[in-house]
């Protein structure tokens, strides 16, 4: 039943971080964005600083130690802000969230908006994820591009970016907001923590803080299992159309 488009609202708490680097991770290819941003929150001990609300967000609450939390959250400290989604985004939500994040970044005079994600790679799939995944970078800013390339990111010669990160890039460009998208070569069928480690390494060309990715690689199998389970549960919720469980239908 139709109504006016639900707004996406960014609800911040605490003092504002000025001129931040905003790092964004949502679950797309290889769940690279979600894994990388969760790891950054943990390693950098970022504080909870708000959440994103909308009727478009799936009907899900994430529970940790009996306390419920929102599925799309904001964390931050010392000039770094992480926006992390633990739920898949519908097409409309991904459009609206990209639009909202871009204008919010502009309003906060963000230094850069960094999108972290994966790029499906047949090669990586076939080698069973053996080698270190490469990272390609796309940016609307030359300086930023040079920074991440100095840390090992390769140029993206020809191709397309799709989904949430395409919209984020588009709205940042429209709003004249510096944006860089880092895409780690990723397995197709599984969450890929190694690809997440690679994009975090490339990130060192932009943010002032050093993040050690060894623990991420070590607990790789563990993270893969955990992320996959979370994703399956939230996916179910996202695709549910309401009503009693299937057994009674």
Task: Using DSSP bridges, classify how beta strands 179-186 and 135-139 pair: parallel, antiparallel or unpaired.
Answer: antiparallel
**Nearer of residues 89 and 110 to a copy of itself, judged by Cβ:** 89
CB of 40 to a copy of itself, least distance (A): 20
CB of 18 to a copy of itself, least distance (A): 27
**Nearer of residues 127 and 240 to a copy of itself, judged by Cβ:** 240
- Per-residue b or e along 80-112, where b marks 16 or more CB atoms closer than 10 Å to that residue's CB: bbbbbbbbbbeeebbbbbbbbbbbbbeebebbb
CB of 20 to a copy of itself, least distance (A): 22
CA distance 131 to 133: 6
**Nearer of residues 20 and 58 to a copy of itself, judged by Cβ:** 58
Dihedral (C-alpha) 128, 160, 144, 82: value to the nearest 10 degrees? -70
Which residues share a beta bridge with 184? 118, 135
CA distance 138 to 182: 7
**Nearer of residues 47 and 229 to a copy of itself, judged by Cβ:** 229
CA distance 87 to 13: 21
- Phi and psi, residue 147, nearest 5°: -60, -50
**Nearer of residues 17 and 30 to a copy of itself, judged by Cβ:** 30
CB of 165 to a copy of itself, least distance (A): 8
CA distance 61 to 72: 10
**Nearer of residues 183 and 197 to a copy of itself, judged by Cβ:** 183
């Amino acid at each position: 039943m139709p109504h006016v488009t639900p707004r996406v609202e960014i609800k911040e708490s605490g003092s504002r971080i000025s001129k931040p680097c905003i790092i964004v991770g949502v679950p797309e290819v290889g769940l690279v964005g979600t894994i990388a941003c969760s790891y950054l929150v943990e390693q950098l001990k970022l504080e909870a600083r708000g959440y994103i609300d909308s009727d478009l967000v799936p009907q899900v609450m994430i529970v940790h130690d009996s306390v419920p939390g929102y599925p799309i959250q904001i964390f931050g400290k010392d000039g770094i802000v992480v926006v992390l989604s633990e739920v898949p985004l519908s097409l409309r939500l991904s459009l609206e969230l990209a639009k909202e994040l871009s204008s919010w970044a502009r309003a906060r005079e963000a230094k850069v908006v960094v999108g972290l994600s994966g790029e499906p790679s047949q090669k990586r799939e076939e080698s069973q994820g053996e080698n270190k995944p490469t990272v390609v970078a796309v940016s609307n800013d030359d300086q930023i591009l040079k920074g991440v390339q100095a840390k090992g990111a390769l140029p993206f010669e020809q191709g397309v970016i799709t989904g949430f990160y395409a919209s984020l890039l588009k709205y940042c460009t429209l709003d004249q907001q510096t944006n860089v998208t880092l895409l780690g070569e990723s397995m197709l069928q599984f969450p890929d923590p190694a690809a997440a480690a690679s994009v975090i390494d490339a990130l060192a060309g932009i943010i002032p803080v050093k993040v050690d990715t060894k623990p991420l690689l070590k607990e790789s199998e563990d993270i893969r299992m955990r992320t996959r389970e979370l994703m399956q549960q939230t996916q179910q919720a996202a695709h549910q159309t309401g009503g009693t469980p299937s057994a009674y239908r």
